[in-house]
Amino acid sequence: MGQPVVPLIMRELEREPDHWFWASNAITGANPIKPEQRGRLKQMAQAWIEWGKVNGYRW
């Protein structure tokens, strides 16, 4: 599915944080999660949401 699903994943992370991080990383090649955020689901989701906005994704 590739890049077209990124906005869908971002929307889902915003609605209800869940473990979409591996898919986001596999699709985009990015990993905006800082070491201190690892294991903190809400912080990890927020890092990806911010990354999506900065990189021009809209959902």
Each residue's pLDDT tens digit, 1-59? 688 899 999 999 999 999 999 999 999 999 999 999 999 999 999 999 999 999 999 99
The structure tokens listed for 34 are 């800082």
pLDDT, position 3:
83
pTM of the shown model: 0.90
DSSP 8-state class, residue 35: G
Residue 40: burial class (beta carbons within 10 Å; 0-12, 13-18, 19+): middle
Query: What local confidence, expressed as pLDDT, does residue 32 receive?
Result: 97
Residue-level pLDDT at 2: 80
